[in-house]
Structure 1
């Protein structure tokens, strides 16, 4: 098959930079190790099959003389027995898992190199030191930067993801491989031989471990995975990041106050166990269980830290007399923990601080036992347990006061304050769990409830009357539909979680597909039934933030009017007063991208952020924008973290921001502890700098206006093109179902959430944005990232002065530069020849693909003209090298996936052949996602 006209000329393969040679050595070492393991365990034929396919795909990519073309390669793979196809798919998938580990290790090494020179002239870009230096050099003083640090409240939110394919077992294995690679660099020859043996052992275990689960993970399985991240990565990484931020401040601005030192700039959110929109497996019971397990984890970590403090804080009373307040609490502790007193009173007779910490450890144990008993359904009486985190913090403050009074200020700062900061960030809850459900679910539940008590349908005025009264709508004898009872039970579950672990444990309620103010009023009425809201009180009481999620293009455009209506509502004003005049708003990148395409949705999201911020400023409301981004470009992701934050509209976060972390992005960003630290550091730095930066200060206002007019025109044109193909006909969705493995994705057991919304008809409206993106990515078409872009850019560039405007926008406007960079990356990863093979071999519409091919070609041509270069991603040798390295092996997986899809679809329903093919397809799904990254 000849190369399609739309395929851009390959960029020359970059010469590896000297600093990247260790990465290439690690990749070669791991590849050779995997080859030996396959040869030893599976035999010569298996090894030769994998090796021949690898060599053939590399030869084709390099254009070697005599290399097989794509048709010949497909025929070769088609001729392989199913067992060898499945084995080859596993081999290439696991190779990518190892490559990704090597790349993460290399990032750790590069970060360590920068850290060695942190105080010099060139700290790592987006590091805490680099950020503070930029702020100081731009004329910011210590006081205003301190205020900004104190205000910082950044919340990455981990979410469940039906295309996440890395099992927790493999995450642990990856971490061990990474540790061995890092140790190898500085090891002696004999130590390296031992490390290489250990690496081979880990790769053996990798080969013998199923990379895809044989049972679909439950929600609580997913909860266990995010708790693994919390316990092994996020807690320590966030503490070290916070310390780095304070030390960078002090290096550039002088000594920090306690307010800066004990600030909590970073908290971790979680949707797993709380996001019930479209996931019938997220029950109220699961929500409570998820919260209890998070509480159990965080209490265990506090216990470990207190154990360490008992060993370290050996203040003698005859040298440093303890405060009377601390001695008084020892008596109350003795009353509830007499056995601890008897076991320790003599040994710690002159060390009351150790005795106090020993009591605190025992009280944490009792609190943890109480949580475990509740989770097991056997509530236990634990009189020594802390009633709440405030009681624990009071004890911590007593310890801190003693240390400071004794003159141990530096010991307090280094050994004790990190625990206090952690407690302020994570309480007794660990994660801050968000709860989410669809607006229609609330409407149906409230209609049913009102009908059962004889109120008919509750309109806005009726809901306001209910909220200003205290008459309950639900009674023990009111008959309700099961769905209504589940909704009410969800709010009761939120109440249970808050009562057990504190209000921050579950104080955010997100309304999907919110379209009007009434969608939030319904939530407040339902929450009142669970005792979470009492707006009739004086002052009003509310224990939840009601958060509209604006997802489609129309919803984003209406969003400012919805907020204005809420803020003008006297009843909702009481809700705002109860919540400290704060309003959180979530904006959905995934569904808006599916609805409107890349250009139109990106511009709509940008404008919505500006207008929502303006409405909140007008009404004196603190706005927190919650960015519902996925990892892929088609779902709002794909940018390096720092660049993505710089591209946000000026003045829209003010240090308060939430961002979803989804799918394979979680393992990429947080899989290794140093990478998690770097991710947090860059996120905090970008958020902090954004509060002080406005790109418009460097651009004439008339030019800014011209940029915006240009974006209006580009968005309108791209929207017409996108919707004509995606929404106004069935041909593209039919191609999607035929040529992509989206149907197989639904059976791949990657996550607990279905690919379609409940009750939705199969079609573009019913399918979720995640599988929509994932399916196109699997066949290397990457369609959601560029459809409609090429024609819009090309038509404007063809007008007099149009190309100059686009080039100037890319140069001066961070938003537009980031948008182009994401589209450019997607196009660089796309392969229209591979996509054509899927369409032709699986029976898709070849003529429609030709139309898409032409639009892709226009996109590439426009990008190259705007950038003034001959190759995509020409400004990033690292990215080009990564794509060049990975392409042959992704090609192998693509060829295997095509033949496996054909065999699976041709096999009889329920046959062994179909089951084996389906399992092998699942391996290719995982491998292609691992190979392309930021794809789903």
Structure 2
């Protein structure tokens, strides 16, 4: 497994391999003769300098930009000014891509192997210690890692650009100037966005690029290394890595996902997988030209080709058939041909074992409120209506649980169905078809968002029993999602009710006694602020683990992490490494989304590194099984008080009358719905006035990141720490920080979020008549938080202990500073009275800046 090198060496490599190369290739890039921008390469450096100086002087974006054009392009028509700003945006977007490619090209040099902290070192130690060996053996038996790709709309690179980044990275590794020059020209002429919003199927196809080009290889390589390691230490190989997929299955808040969408995506995943298999098989066929394998080769050639390219084929799960024939070929090679090219067959065998006929598990997700409506609709239909009283919805939770009968029935539907009701019922029926075509693991989880009571899950089970499923053949795992602070606090009691419910007990037993529970960060951060969200989830995990252990349940937490620290992202593996024995950690499941996908899993090397980090974190934590010191009374009480203080501070901010108006006026929040990157609306109840509770957390966090203020990633933590200092409890806070890896990771990620904030950009707002005092409130908490965090960590600057990452952030922020200012300029112009053409032009200008800002942030949205 891999780990970081000494800081000084990494810094030197970063400066030489990344900074120097970027400056070299960027100078080449700025001279490229693109359409209508012959002067752009000359003017852009001057514009960047003007932006930096203007920000230092706290000038308004309008004055800064107007002064620039007056100085360098006098007598320019307003339309020409807007046109040139668009050209600046296009260049800067591509500079971000160039920096991504240069950084990715240096990935292996920045992250070389440190054998002392690897799994191999752990196994070596276990080999000499029988007790530890048994523990490692048991951990491997139970451990798994599931990475779930989600369709959250912050993945801005289309497939064509991703392919260029991939090729550019390879060319930079080789210092192939000719190819680099050609690829930069291609990049300059390749569109970065769609003219119309993608459909959910388009999103799935775009995200499947990573499955086909990255995960297909990276996960198999990691599994291969693990198998080799396990066999060396006489431990039976075990499938550890699993992949999940949300696009096409996640319909929560997305009215554009339909049953045919889900079916289409399921078929697409299968076909892409078999094309990958066929590509590998062609290499095998070219090499294995010996006698004795002709029959098996011919059979596989026919089967793989048909499954990869014949759209009229009736698909079934043929993974066992493939494994049997591949094993037959491998045995013949081993026995009759000295094992020549057996490694090629072994590689494909391993991939089929990992991905079977489905590639990635397609999860279904829907909001509990929608599912309650579906249950209510079904209760009105024959013969179900005879089983329930008309006042069922008025019953208490305990009365509802007694009323549920779990009887199989075939409902006779009458009258028209609401679109969401029809979607749920058809999806429930069609999951069975997807399992038949691709295998049970192709689609076996139904996630209930906003889960608030046990009946939310049990009523969903009834919907399955009323729509084609038998109780003893219910090959579905029901996964509650707890996200708000209030829902998290009641989660353990809900699960206790389920674990003691006779029908659910029987169902869990049929599913191997395993329960997945999803815990989300996004809405909990929007609801309670950064520290309260993290603390609420920690406490919920402890309570849920305790309840599961009492009822002999194998608990797996599915973490809705990814993106920025405000949505649970950041240095994720450190969270898993810091879990104590009080938190179930044998099955790591997490979402990877938005820019996290391209930044951490954009290449085979980076994906392999991050997968290894998570596996290492999970297994190492399991071996140590230390008590989590945050549960010691003095630490627990300290965090409890701090979380509540930060929550009160964040709540006061949310209740401020200018909270939403500030965000609507000064950030591109109201324009996000016009960005053509997502099939998902910006907010729920899209036809109604904007309310914070309806605003999707991703839009909420994105808007603050565009402002370069990142409020959800830190607000309230400064106040909480200051209150501890005033209460003479500072020594205890420092002790908690030093003793707890979990708390330290929270602080580190908070610092990362703050490192991507820059209040000097909006310092001009301090004089604004409407928003001046509100801006000062935000700024004061930022400055307080920075001072208190630095004092707590004993540092002189944010991210002092991650100098390479800090430098990377600084370069990226410098690249996109003009984008931020152009956005502010356009939003300010939109506050004036404009004609329709001007309105459209400035809206488009503001919207176009969003892409580059998010791409550069990598985990900001």
Fold match, TM over 0.5?
yes
- Report matched runs for 1:510-549 at 5 Å: 510-532=447-469, 534-535=470-471, 540-549=472-481
Alpha-carbon distance between aligned partners in 2 of 1:438 and 1:181, rounded to the nearest angstrom: 46
Label 1:206 to 1:916 Cα distance change in 2 as closer, same or farther (>3 A): farther
Label 1:457 to 1:164 Cα distance change in 2 as closer, same or farther (>3 A): farther
1:578 correspondence with 2:503: no
What is the aligned partner in structure 1 of residue 490 from structure 2? 558
Question: Partner of 2:31: helix, strand, or coil?
Answer: helix
Question: Please, which of 172, 181, 200 is the counterpart of residue 172 of structure 2?
Answer: 181
How many Å apart are 1:74 and its aligned residue? 4.6
CA contact (8 A) 1:553 1:592 kept: yes
CA contact (8 A) 1:907 1:913 kept: no
- Report matched runs for 1:79-228 at 5 Å: 81-111=81-111, 114-115=112-113, 122-123=114-115, 127-129=118-120, 132=123, 141-184=132-175, 195-228=176-209
How many Å apart are 1:107 and its aligned residue? 1.1
- Report matched runs for 1:222-237 at 5 Å: 222-237=203-218
Superposition TM-score, scaled by structure 2 size: 0.91
Superposition TM-score, scaled by structure 1 size: 0.84
1:22 correspondence with 2:35: no
1:706 correspondence with 2:634: yes
How many Å apart are 1:231 and its aligned residue? 1.0
What is the aligned partner in structure 1 of residue 781 from structure 2? 855
CA contact (8 A) 1:129 1:245 kept: no
Deviations along 1:617-654, one digit per CA (max 9) or x if unpaired, are 11111111100013111111122x43232234445344
Alpha-carbon distance between aligned partners in 1 of 2:161 and 2:126, rounded to the nearest angstrom: 41
Question: Please, which of 815, 824, 828 is the counterpart of residue 902 of structure 1?
Answer: 828
Label 1:487 to 1:904 Cα distance change in 2 as closer, same or farther (>3 A): same
Question: Partner of 2:516: helix, strand, or coil?
Answer: strand
1:483 correspondence with 2:420: yes
Question: Please, which of 828, 832, 848 is the counterpart of residue 923 of structure 1?
Answer: 848
Label 1:647 to 1:561 Cα distance change in 2 as closer, same or farther (>3 A): same
CA contact (8 A) 2:375 2:460 kept: no
Deviations along 1:327-358, one digit per CA (max 9) or x if unpaired, are xxxxxxxxxxxxxxxxxxxxxxxx33232122
Question: Partner of 2:762: helix, strand, or coil?
Answer: helix
Label 1:754 to 1:866 Cα distance change in 2 as closer, same or farther (>3 A): same
Alpha-carbon distance between aligned partners in 2 of 1:136 and 1:790, rounded to the nearest angstrom: 47
Question: Partner of 2:558: helix, strand, or coil?
Answer: strand
How many Å apart are 1:255 and its aligned residue? 4.3
How many Å apart are 1:206 and its aligned residue? 1.3
| Stretches of structure 1 lacking an aligned partner (at least 5 in a row) | 1-12, 116-121, 185-194, 316-350, 374-379
CA contact (8 A) 2:381 2:412 kept: no
- Report matched runs for 1:311-710 at 5 Å: 311-313=286-288, 351-369=291-309, 372-373=311-312, 380=313, 388-402=318-332, 412=342, 414-453=343-382, 454=385, 455=388, 456=390, 458=392, 467-472=405-410, 474-475=411-412, 477=414, 480-532=417-469, 534-535=470-471, 540-639=472-571, 641-696=572-627, 704-710=632-638
Alpha-carbon distance between aligned partners in 1 of 2:36 and 2:676, rounded to the nearest angstrom: 26
1:53 correspondence with 2:34: no
CA contact (8 A) 1:616 1:622 kept: yes
1:806 correspondence with 2:736: no
How many Å apart are 1:204 and its aligned residue? 1.4
Alpha-carbon distance between aligned partners in 2 of 1:838 and 1:139, rounded to the nearest angstrom: 65
How many Å apart are 1:916 and its aligned residue? 3.2
Label 1:817 to 1:462 Cα distance change in 2 as closer, same or farther (>3 A): closer
Question: Partner of 1:830: helix, strand, or coil?
Answer: coil
Computed over aligned residues only, the root mean square deviation of the Cα atoms, in angstroms, reads 2.9
Alpha-carbon distance between aligned partners in 1 of 2:331 and 2:13, rounded to the nearest angstrom: 52
What is the aligned partner in structure 1 of residue 252 from structure 2? 277
CA contact (8 A) 1:449 1:480 kept: no
Q: After alignment, is 644-653 or 860-869 more displaced?
A: 644-653
Question: Please, which of 738, 757, 760 is the counterpart of residue 665 of structure 2?
Answer: 738
Label 1:269 to 1:110 Cα distance change in 2 as closer, same or farther (>3 A): same
Alpha-carbon distance between aligned partners in 2 of 1:653 and 1:885, rounded to the nearest angstrom: 39
How many Å apart are 1:419 and its aligned residue? 2.5
What is the aligned partner in structure 2 of residue 305 from structure 1? 280
Deviations along 1:92-131, one digit per CA (max 9) or x if unpaired, are 22211211221111113334xx35xxxxxx4385x54455
Label 1:183 to 1:467 Cα distance change in 2 as closer, same or farther (>3 A): farther
What is the aligned partner in structure 2 of residue 337 from structure 1? none
CA contact (8 A) 2:40 2:87 kept: yes
Alpha-carbon distance between aligned partners in 2 of 1:134 and 1:779, rounded to the nearest angstrom: 50
Count of residues in Structure 1 that have an aligned counterpart in Structure 2 = 835
Label 1:891 to 1:483 Cα distance change in 2 as closer, same or farther (>3 A): closer
- Report matched runs for 1:247-262 at 5 Å: 247-249=228-230, 254-257=232-235, 259-260=236-237
What is the aligned partner in structure 1 of residue 698 from structure 2? 770
How many Å apart are 1:229 and its aligned residue? 1.0
CA contact (8 A) 1:581 1:621 kept: yes
CA contact (8 A) 1:463 1:525 kept: no
Alpha-carbon distance between aligned partners in 2 of 1:926 and 1:748, rounded to the nearest angstrom: 9
CA contact (8 A) 1:277 1:437 kept: yes
Alpha-carbon distance between aligned partners in 2 of 1:772 and 1:691, rounded to the nearest angstrom: 36
What is the aligned partner in structure 2 of residue 265 from structure 1? 240
Label 1:403 to 1:631 Cα distance change in 2 as closer, same or farther (>3 A): same
Q: After alignment, is 462-471 or 271-280 more displaced?
A: 462-471
Label 1:369 to 1:177 Cα distance change in 2 as closer, same or farther (>3 A): closer
Question: Partner of 1:424: helix, strand, or coil?
Answer: helix
Question: Partner of 1:692: helix, strand, or coil?
Answer: helix
Alpha-carbon distance between aligned partners in 1 of 2:842 and 2:69, rounded to the nearest angstrom: 13
Deviations along 1:851-908, one digit per CA (max 9) or x if unpaired, are 1211111111111111122222222221232233233323211111111223345464
Alpha-carbon distance between aligned partners in 1 of 2:487 and 2:814, rounded to the nearest angstrom: 42
Label 1:95 to 1:479 Cα distance change in 2 as closer, same or farther (>3 A): closer
Question: Partner of 1:86: helix, strand, or coil?
Answer: helix
Question: Partner of 1:762: helix, strand, or coil?
Answer: coil
Alpha-carbon distance between aligned partners in 1 of 2:402 and 2:341, rounded to the nearest angstrom: 55
CA contact (8 A) 2:381 2:413 kept: no
Deviations along 1:152-173, one digit per CA (max 9) or x if unpaired, are 2211100011222111111011
How many Å apart are 1:616 and its aligned residue? 0.9
CA contact (8 A) 1:642 1:686 kept: yes
Alpha-carbon distance between aligned partners in 2 of 1:369 and 1:300, rounded to the nearest angstrom: 8
What is the aligned partner in structure 2 of residue 376 from structure 1? none
Deviations along 1:57-107, one digit per CA (max 9) or x if unpaired, are 45678x8xx998978635435867111111112222221121122111111
| Stretches of structure 2 lacking an aligned partner (at least 5 in a row) | 1-7, 71-77
1:867 correspondence with 2:804: no
What is the aligned partner in structure 2 of residue 756 from structure 1? 683
Alpha-carbon distance between aligned partners in 2 of 1:935 and 1:659, rounded to the nearest angstrom: 18
How many Å apart are 1:53 and its aligned residue? 1.3
